[in-house]
Amino acid sequence: MIKIFVSTMDGVLNTHLPPQDVDGISVYYINQGTPLEGVFNVFNISSVGLSNSRNFALSLCQHGDLVILTDNDVGFNIETLNKIENYFENNIDFSVLTFKSLLADGTPFKKYNECEFNHDFFSIMKVSSIEMAIRVGPDIPKFDSSFGLGAKYPLGEENIFLSDVLRRGLKAKYLPINFSVHFDNKHTGLAFDYESSIQRFKVFIRVYGCFLGRLFFFLFIIKSFKKFRSGFFKSLFLPLKLFDCF
């Protein structure tokens, strides 16, 4: 059984998901804000923030459940969903599998590797939540509620989650298979400005610690400097954040 948990706000439905009666696939809504009524498998919760929504979804799961945590603007490749169990059966040692995502026009959501590989503490920084499937077990971590939309730092929750997966001795693997479709071109991970970079710095510190986090953030800024959309002159002072921590 595949369980898809949709994080939504103020009762907005996801129109891109498979119907509820598809064999082997169950869809649940975790709704925050204005209650969502009249829909099957809805949980209206009072907490705020995407990570809290994800954690509530995981709390509903049992050992061995195969789970997809998604958003209101995402659809899925039904053929791939029907094979998720096979992918996990063929990768019995892995708790998380990540895949490829497409935009609505069929182009890749980002640049992907065409060969499968085991994730490490560097590759996880390129993963988006809409690319993940999780095999729930007793050691699966919670999402850090300080990160993600609606939290103090509104990005990076999936990267932190994956780092905690690896830190617990669990394994994650990438498969070059089309998995999801992102129907909204807006994405927090695509923003490159002063404020988003400060938020990214906090993610680097959370994943790598104060020393390596500063070093890798500095290298990230050098690599990404040309992508900045705004705050160019302010961004010149980003290296000063290397002296900060939480």
0.85 exceeded by the pTM? yes
pLDDT tens for the chain, residues 1 to 246: 899 999 999 988 877 776 555 678 899 999 999 998 888 889 999 999 999 999 999 999 999 999 999 998 899 988 899 899 999 999 999 999 999 999 989 999 999 999 999 999 999 999 999 999 999 999 999 999 999 999 999 999 999 999 999 999 999 999 999 999 998 766 555 556 778 888 999 999 999 999 999 999 988 888 776 665 555 445 545 555 555 655
CA distance 13 to 5: 12
The rounded distance, in Å, linking the Cα atoms of 47 and 45 is 6
Q: Which CATH superfamily is domain 2-185 in?
A: Spore Coat Polysaccharide Biosynthesis Protein SpsA; Chain A (3.90.550.10)
- 3-state SS of the chain is CEEEEEEEECCCCCCCCCCCCCCCEEEEEEEECCCCCCCCCEEEECCCCHHHHHHHHHHCCCCCCEEEEEECCEEECHHHHCCHHHHHHCCCCCCEEEEEEEECCCCECCCCCCCCEECCCCHHHHCCHHHEEEECCCCCCCCCCCECCCCCECCCHHHHHHHHHHHCCCCEEEEEEEEEEECCCCCHHHCCCHHHHHHHHHHHHHHHCHHHHHHHHHHHHHHHHHHCCCCHHHHCCHHHHHHCCC
In contact, 74 and 49? CB cutoff 8 Å: no
Domain ranges in the chain are 2-185, 191-243
